[in-house]
Amino acid sequence: MSRVVSLLLGAALLCGHGAFCRRVVSGQKVCFADFKHPCYKMAYFHELSSRVSFQEARLACESEGGVLLSLENEAEQKLIESMLQNLTKPGTGISDGDFWIGLWRNGDGQTSGACPDLYQWSDGSSSQYRNWYTDEPSCGSEKCVVMYHQPTANPGLGGPYLYQWNDDRCNMKHNYICKYEPEINPTAPAEKPYLTNQPGDTHQNVVVTEAGIIPNLIYVVIPTIPLLLLILVAFGTCCFQMLHKSKGRTKTSPNQSTLWISKSSRKESGMEV
């Protein structure tokens, strides 16, 4: 129960409104400052030719010390959905493209009623959680599972093709999601660079950031900088105007005005004599 609550809090911290909303970037590992959540990485490829098969995705995750995503419960599913929504928000240019997860079926193709029970997680997880789209899995020669991500597709019988699962042929080319053990050393450096070296990846170097306490402080401080600058500008403008008015009053003091009138009066009296 505590793990479910922890995952729900993680989703709120990730994409809730306010200073703690974190930007999810393709190819970047996302960790959490509480050091309890697993870390995740969304590998999205704009070019279809750069996307990978199930086995290639699995090897890519394992080469970085992770595994292809397994999902323990609905709370973790919602967390991943929040991350994908953040990744694909307007302006990023990221659109349709399903994501491999670590669920697959070993054995010959079959369409019997027992087929759904034969799917297992590639990392050995015993989780029985499933989030199949309507009429899935279709089984047969489709043994590997993707998480739907087709926001521009017309909804089907089961609704939009978003975040629910579908079995597909393992040699099909898709994006993928990796999962890593949570951070266990809070004093470790906040940033550690990695090279993805993913099969078919057109990006040579992707910097992977493991977020800790310092990055979270940065997310709080940076948004306040424009407000501080605005306050300083307003304060400086106010001081300048007050100083300008003070100088204006000094130049037109009553003593100076009386002295000028006095001199004029003397000249006029001299002319009358």
CATH number at residue 160: 3.10.100.10
More confident residue, 233 or 223: 233
C-alpha torsion angle, residues 164, 175, 35, 208 (rounded to 10): -160
Q: State percent of the chain over pLDDT 90.
A: 43
Reply yes or no on whether the pLDDT at 232 is more than 90: no
Least confident residue range of 36-50, 141-155, 249-263: 249-263
Residue 24 domain flag: no
Residue 3 domain flag: no
Reply yes or no on whether the pLDDT at 272 is more than 60: no
Instruction: Reduce the DSSP state of residue 186 to 3 states and report it.
Output: coil
Residue 34 domain flag: yes
Task: Identify the top-confidence range among 11-15, 82-86, 208-212.
Answer: 82-86
Residues 50/200, Cβ–Cβ less than 8 Å: yes
Helices (H), 93-224: 213-221
How many angstroms separate the Cα of 97 from the Cα of each of 45, 176, 261?
Answer: 8, 9, 87
Q: What is the pLDDT of residues 58-89, one digit of tens each?
A: 999 999 999 999 999 999 999 999 999 988 88
Residue 266 domain flag: no
Instruction: Reduce the DSSP state of residue 164 to 3 states and report it.
Output: strand
Reply yes or no on whether the pLDDT at 212 is more than 70: no
Residue 110 domain flag: yes
Spatial neighbors of 139 by CB under 8 A, at least 6 apart, are 105, 109, 110, 111, 112, 115, 116, 167
pLDDT band at 142 (very low <50, low <70, confident <90, very high): very high
DSSP letter (8 states) at residue 194: -
Reply yes or no on whether the pLDDT at 199 is more than 70: no
pLDDT of residue 259: 42
pLDDT band at 23 (very low <50, low <70, confident <90, very high): low
Residue 145 domain flag: yes
Residues 210/39, Cβ–Cβ less than 8 Å: yes
Angle at 252 between CA 247 and CA 258, to 5 degrees: 150
Residues 147/165, Cβ–Cβ less than 8 Å: yes
Reply yes or no on whether the pLDDT at 51 is more than 50: yes
The tally of domains found in the chain comes to: 1
pLDDT of residue 177: 98
Residue 246 domain flag: no
More confident residue, 42 or 264: 42
* Residue 85 domain boundaries: 29-184
Reply yes or no on whether the pLDDT at 255 is more than 80: no
Measured distance CA(25)–CA(209) in Å, rounded = 10
Reduced 3-state DSSP string for 99-114: EEEEEEECCCCECCCC
Residue 179 domain flag: yes
More confident residue, 202 or 43: 43
Least confident residue range of 88-102, 157-171, 227-241: 227-241
pLDDT band at 221 (very low <50, low <70, confident <90, very high): low
pLDDT band at 119 (very low <50, low <70, confident <90, very high): very high
pLDDT band at 233 (very low <50, low <70, confident <90, very high): confident
More confident residue, 46 or 230: 46
pLDDT band at 132 (very low <50, low <70, confident <90, very high): very high
